[in-house]
Structure 1
Amino acid sequence: MKTLIIDTALGACTAVAADGSRVVAAESEVMARGHQERLGGMARGAMAAAGWSFDQLDRIAVTTGPGSFTGLRVGLAFAQGLGLALDRPVAGLSTLAALARDAEAAPGAAVWAMIDARRGQVYGQRFVDYTPTEDPAALAIEDAAARIAGEHNTVVLVGSGAVLVAPAGARVMDSAAPSPEALARLAADQPDGEARPLYLRGPDAKLPGGRDPS
Structure 2
Amino acid sequence: MRLLVIDTALGACTAAVFEDDRPLAVRFEPMTKGHQERLGGLVRDAMAEAGGGFDSLDRIGVTVGPGSFTGLRVGLAFAQGLGAALDRPVVGLSALDALAASSDAVTGPVAALIDARRGQVYARLFANGEPLGPDKALSLGDAAGRIADLGPDIALVGNGAAVLVEAHPNLKFASRDDRVAPSPEALARLSAAADPAVHLPRPLYLRAPDATPPSRLPGQPRQPAS
TM-score normalized with structure 1 length? 0.93
**Partners in 2 of 1:37 and 1:192 — Cα distance?**
28
Larger radius of gyration: 2
RMSD: 1.4
Residue 16 of structure 2: aligned partner? 16
Matched AA of 1:183? L
Residue 178 of structure 1: aligned partner? 182
Q: Which aligned pairs between 1:1-214 and structure 2 lie closer than 5 A?
A: 1-107=1-107, 109-152=108-151, 154-166=153-165, 167-193=171-197, 194-209=200-215
The alignment of Structure 1 onto Structure 2 pairs a total of residues equal to: 209
Q: Unaligned stretches of 5+ in structure 1?
A: none
Shift of 1:158: 0.1
| Structure 1 residues 37-95: Cα deviation after superposition (integer angstroms, max 9, x where no partner) | 10000001111111130011111110011111001110110000000011111011110
Native 8 Å contact 2:47 2:53 kept in 1: yes
Cα distance change on mapping 1:169 and 1:137 into 2, 3 Å? closer
**Partners in 2 of 1:87 and 1:163 — Cα distance?**
41
**Partners in 2 of 1:78 and 1:169 — Cα distance?**
38
SS where residue 115 of structure 2 aligns? strand
Matched AA of 2:42? M
Q: Unaligned stretches of 5+ in structure 2?
A: 166-170, 217-226
Shift of 1:21: 2.8
**Partners in 1 of 2:201 and 2:31 — Cα distance?**
23
Matched AA of 2:208? G
Cα distance change on mapping 1:97 and 1:17 into 2, 3 Å? same
SS where residue 26 of structure 1 aligns? strand
Cα distance change on mapping 1:38 and 1:76 into 2, 3 Å? same
**Partners in 2 of 1:115 and 1:5 — Cα distance?**
20
**Partners in 1 of 2:151 and 2:115 — Cα distance?**
24
**Partners in 2 of 1:129 and 1:153 — Cα distance?**
15
**Partners in 2 of 1:20 and 1:78 — Cα distance?**
22
| Structure 1 residues 141-172: Cα deviation after superposition (integer angstroms, max 9, x where no partner) | 11101211222351000001012224244310
Native 8 Å contact 1:22 1:185 kept in 2: no
**Partners in 2 of 1:15 and 1:115 — Cα distance?**
21
**Partners in 1 of 2:106 and 2:7 — Cα distance?**
27
**Partners in 1 of 2:97 and 2:79 — Cα distance?**
19
